[in-house]
């Protein structure tokens, strides 16, 4: 029975590279699960209830102030401050849109890196397999009919190991990237709808 260290030894430098990518990918996935709370833990329904109780922006702001401090709360207050300024509606809309866009871009941090890991890992694994197959067939050519089939099979097994590792790294990274991107996009759209209600309610 092969142990993990045997896999590392047989997989060589390609397997080691994939291990590093796996560690980086796992770190990014964990980080994004924590960071994504900016959009995920925003209870829009409760804020809409506060909005329904408010006649003015100041009323709504007072209700928000009663909530525990959070980045979400700060963002909403920043939005209200823009709405309270004595400026044109067009300017306010642009400023709020810019603010939302900045927050969305911030939440998108490291997603491109996760996507790169998902795309590159299978290719690196395939490269390891190709190199391993080349070595195996080179052994076959040099040994001719005297080559031990078990040695050849072992070489092919080792070569395929890197492809399997590449897929093991890529699949979670790809699924996580899709999940995070979809979640952030939907949450941003929902928040934009809420801000539209807020502006219409207080105009």
Query: pLDDT at position 151, please?
Result: 62
What are the tokens at 117? 């890991």
pLDDT (tens, 9 = 90+) of the chain, 203 residues, equals 456 666 666 777 888 899 999 999 999 998 888 777 655 545 666 777 777 777 777 777 777 777 766 667 777 788 888 877 777 777 777 887 788 777 777 778 889 999 999 999 999 999 988 888 887 777 777 766 666 666 666 667 777 888 999 999 999 999 999 998 888 887 777 777 777 777 776 55
Instruction: Specify the number of domains making up the chain.
Output: 1
Q: State if pTM tops 0.85.
A: no
Looking at residue 148, the DSSP 8-state letter turns out to be: -
Q: Could you tell me if 131 and 14 are in contact, meaning their C-beta atoms sit under 8 angstroms apart?
A: yes
pLDDT of res. 6: 67
Determine the structural domain holding residue 31 and report its residue range.
Answer: 4-202
Burial of 169 (0-12, 13-18, 19+ CB in 10 A): buried
Q: Helix (H, G, I), strand (E, B), or coil: what is residue 85?
A: coil
């Amino acid at each position: 029975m092969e142990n993990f260290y045997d896999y590392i030894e047989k997989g060589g430098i390609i397997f080691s590279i994939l291990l590093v990518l796996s560690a980086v990918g796992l770190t990014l996935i964990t980080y994004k699960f924590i960071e994504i709370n900016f959009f995920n833990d925003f209870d829009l329904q409760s804020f809409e209830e506060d909005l329904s109780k408010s006649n003015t922006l100041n009323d709504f702001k007072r209700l928000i102030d009663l909530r525990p401090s959070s980045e979400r709360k700060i963002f909403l207050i920043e939005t209200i401050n823009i709405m309270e300024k004595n400026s044109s509606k067009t300017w306010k809309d642009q400023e709020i849109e810019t603010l939302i866009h900045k927050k969305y871009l911030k939440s998108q941090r490291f997603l491109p890196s996760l996507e790169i890991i998902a795309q590159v890992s299978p290719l690196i694994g395939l490269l390891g397999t190709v190199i391993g197959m080349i070595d195996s067939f080179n052994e076959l050519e040099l040994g001719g009919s005297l080559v031990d089939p078990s040695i050849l099979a072992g070489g092919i097994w080792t070569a395929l190991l890197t492809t399997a590792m590449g897929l093991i790294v890529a699949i979670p990274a790809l699924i996580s990237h899709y999940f995070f991107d979809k979640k952030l996009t939907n949450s941003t759209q929902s928040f934009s709808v809420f801000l539209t209600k807020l502006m219409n309610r207080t105009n």
